[in-house]
Amino acid sequence: MGGMPAAPASCPCGLPASYQDCCGRFHRGEASAPTAELLMRSRFTAFATGDTAYLLRTWHPTDRPARLDPDRRLRWTRLEILSSTGGSVIHTEGTVRFRAHYTERGRPGEVEEHSRFSRLDGQWVYAGVVQ
């Protein structure tokens, strides 16, 4: 996995579980995120741990980039889920509004986004930003 940081003990997504038992199982391919919110959390954790393969695998192919080059100066530190619509085990579409916190060169910052998710072949995928 060259260059990826070591897996954290507690999950960066903010849920009260270890990385191995929480988002790690999705990253390892042992399970698929059952809801849009859990996919959002697992994607945040993939940014935090440098798992670009998972990010690409869970991106809708319509607008998935050919490759990702994450900014190594950013350290993703905390995720806040602000709201969500749909996205449950019975839905085929959903949205999640979130705020992702980071530090860059010791300075805190945040990004807020309202993301769309859809099911593709039964799996939740990131489908872009709500316009």
Using one digit for the tens of pLDDT, what is the confidence trace for 38-97?
A: 999 999 999 999 999 999 999 999 999 999 998 888 999 999 999 999 999 999 999 999
Q: Is the dihedral of CA 103, 107, 108, 110 positive or negative?
A: negative
Amino acid at 11: C
Contact 85, 57 (CB under 8 A): no
98 is written with which tokens? Answer: 């979130």
Name the band, by pLDDT with cuts 50, 70 and 90, for residue 4: low
Q: For residues 130 and 77, what is the distance between their CA atoms, to the nearest angstrom?
A: 24
Taking the CB of residue 105, how many other CB atoms lie within 10 A of it?
A: 7
> Domains in the chain, ordered, with CATH?
23-129 (3.10.450.50)
